[in-house]
Amino acid sequence: MFLTNQDLVDLIAWRRKLHATPEVSGEEARTGEEVQAFLAITAPDRIVSGLGGHGVAAIYDGAEPGPTLMFRAELDALPIQEEAAHDYPSTIAGKAHLCGHDGHMATLAALARGLGRQRPRRGRVVLMFQPAEETGAGAAAVIADPRFAAIAPDMSFSYHNMPGLPLGRVALAEGPVNCASCGMRIAFAGSTAHASQPENGVSPMPAMAALMPALAALAHGTHHDPDFILVTITHAWLGEPAFGIAPGQGEVWATLRTLTTAGMAALRERAEGLARQAAAEAGLGIEISYDDVFDHCENAAEPVARLARALAAEGIAFDSGDLPMRGSEDFGRFGQAAPAAMFFLGSGENHPRLHTPGYDFPDALIAIGARVFMRTLRDLLG
């Protein structure tokens, strides 16, 4: 084990500090500064800040030429009110680290401690603290930043904690491991009327009432099927909150999900067709827009093999679990440019689920994740 007891004490305390001061996607300025300050003691060869927004990349050079390996964590928290059962709750109302990104950052900080004491023999290591993962915008922004080209990796690695898996057990597999998804916003425009004379207006209500179950009915198969589809209605609003007005405006929000990015275009076309048909039949105007767009995450063969070797060497049990998972992950963008792989580290079978108010990252996973990453990079770079 390359971490000392004092390292673990420091890392856990820092993780909990991050937990208490969450920042959501696009607002992670203070978190990025905190990352830079904590890594300073490890004396990276270079730090790139403000990357793709508030991203931070710390670079550790080897003495000899070789490949660039990137290890990624996420900076952002969620816009959810925490229901804490611990003594370091979020101090920011309505915002909390309920996905474990605070723990992922601490894992990379553990790796930085090891690299500060012993650089790789060859190549270089990039520790990437990515912004805006939760909205699907961060990885694309990092890649589009002109400074990223100078540190672009030859291979990338990441992990995500996973409630439902036994504590410390790993799920790892080749191929798709996270689904593609996007948020579809359908805005209907009609005209208001007095509630006593609704016939004088054009209400979106019948169109919305018909459209929501029709969209949900597009679902097909399971997340193990190549043609998997899931449509989840996440939000709807209709008119003004008043009893005297028949509504003239309304919106339906839905999350579209497919196993791969390639399948998303066809699903969008079908969903848009249903929405436009509903609008036309009701005499409504319609606007359709998309947010939170995630490509699917594909685990490549070589980095999967490297992770499997590291897990075996560290004596950490692993199998393919229930992969692919239905959730989406912004890490997939990095895999489009160079081989990449993500593993899923168990948080406990009965642990509160991700994105729920009672979730908290298990501190025991910091050392486990860091061991896997360190073994991987030493095997590749020495």
pLDDT at 84: 83
* Edge-to-edge strands, sheet with 249-258: 229-238, 249-258, 180-189, 285-294
Number of domains the chain is built from: 2
Phi, psi values for residue 60, rounded to 5°: -120, 115
CATH of the domain at 161: 3.40.630.10
Q: Is the pLDDT of residue 80 over 90?
A: yes
Which helix H or strand E contains 73, and what residues bound it?
A: strand 64-74
> pLDDT-based confidence at 22, cuts 50/70/90?
very high
Per residue in 221-274, pLDDT (tens digit) is 999 999 999 999 999 999 999 999 999 999 999 999 999 999 999 999 999 999
Domain boundary among 277, 294, 311: 294
| Interval 83-108 mean pLDDT | 96
| Interval 61-77 mean pLDDT | 98
Residues 118 and 197 in one domain: no
Residues 22 and 106 in one domain: yes
User: Do 69 and 126 contact (CB within 8 A), yes or no?
Assistant: yes
The residue among 275, 306, 293 whose CA lies nearest residue 376 is 306
Residues 232 and 369 in one domain: no
pLDDT at 85: 86
Domain containing 256 equals 180-294
User: Do 109 and 90 contact (CB within 8 A), yes or no?
Assistant: no
Which helix H or strand E contains 327, and what residues bound it?
A: none
Residues 32 and 169 in one domain: yes
Residues 189 and 215 in one domain: yes
Which helix H or strand E contains 343, and what residues bound it?
A: strand 340-348
Residues 31 and 152 in one domain: yes
Residue 102, classed as helix, strand or coil, is: helix
Residues 109 and 213 in one domain: no
Query: Do β-strands 64-74 and 155-163 pair in parallel, antiparallel, or remain unpaired?
Result: parallel
Query: What whole-number percentage of the chain has pLDDT above 90?
Result: 99
What value does the mean pLDDT of the chain take?
97
| Interval 132-143 mean pLDDT | 96
Q: Residue 241: count other Cβ atoms within 10 Å of its Cβ.
A: 7
Residues 284 and 138 in one domain: no
Residues 289 and 377 in one domain: no
Q: Report the C-alpha gap between 344 and 116 in whole angstroms.
A: 26
Domain boundary among 263, 279, 294: 294
Helix axes 5-20, 29-39, angle to 10 degrees: 170
pLDDT at 1: 82
